[in-house]
Amino acid sequence: MQASPEAEAETPSPAPKPAPKREAALPRLRGQHVLIGLLAINMVVTGALWFRVMTDTRPVIATVGLTSLARNYAQSLASDPTISAEALQIRTQLFMAEGQKEIDRLTADGGMVLLARECVLKGEDVDLTPQFAASLNTQLAATKSPAVGAVANVPEQ
C-alpha cells in the first residue's frame, strides 16, 4: 500500500530542532596566568618609575644670608631716632612678609631648595644673598620702608 501523495502532504513533518545552546566557555585561569599578569604589571610600573627617575632633574641648592640681611635691616631701623615702637613693629612684620614672598617666588617652580647660609657647612651652593637683598629692597621701597642696606659677611665665591 502506497500512500497517496496527498496523504503524505497532510502528515506533519517533524519541526526542525533548534541547535543546542552552547555555553560561552571562558578560559580557566591558572596560577601561572595570574603570575604572568602580575609580572607584566610589575614591569610596566618599574619602567614608569625608572623613566621618572631618569628624567627628573635635581633641584638647585641655593643659600641666602638671612641673618646678615635681618641684622642690617634692624640696624637701619635702630638708627632712625624718630621711629615709634608701633612703626618699628609694623616695619619688622613687613620685612618678614616681603622676605617670605621673595622666598616663595624663588622656590615656586620646585627646582630650587633655598637654605639659610648658616645651614650649609660644606659643599657647592649658589649664594643668592645679593639678588635676594636687591629684590627685597625693591619691594620695601614700594612700601617706603628703609632698605636692607649693604649685605655684610657675604663670602666671595
Residues 6+ apart with CB under 8 A from 74: 92
Instruction: Write phi, then psi, for 144 (nearest 5 degrees).
Output: 60, 35
Instruction: Establish if 135 belongs to a structural domain.
Output: yes
Would residue 65 count as lying in a domain? yes
The pLDDT value given to residue 155: 42
Residue 124 vs residues 80, 120, 138: alpha-carbon distances, Å: 39, 9, 28
- Count structural domains, the chain: 1
CB atoms closer than 10 angstroms to residue 55: 7
Instruction: Indicate which CATH number applies to the domain containing 86.
Output: 3.30.910
Share of the chain above pLDDT 90, in %: 11
**Domain annotation covers residue 34:** no
73-132 residue pLDDT tens: 888 888 888 878 888 888 888 888 888 998 898 888 878 888 888 888 887 778 888 888
Residue 156 pLDDT more than 70?
A: no
Least Cα distance to 77 among 96, 100, 105 occurs for 96
pTM: 0.54
Task: Give residue 151's pLDDT.
Answer: 46
Q: What is the C-alpha radius of gyration for the chain, rounded to an integer number of angstroms?
A: 41
Q: Find the distance separating the first CA and the last CA of the chain, reported in whole Å.
A: 126
Range(s) of the domain holding residue 112? 60-142
Tens of pLDDT along 25-39?
A: 767 778 888 899 999
Mean pLDDT of the chain: 80
β-strand 60-64 against 112-116: which pairing, if any? parallel
Give domain status of residue 112, yes or no.
Answer: yes
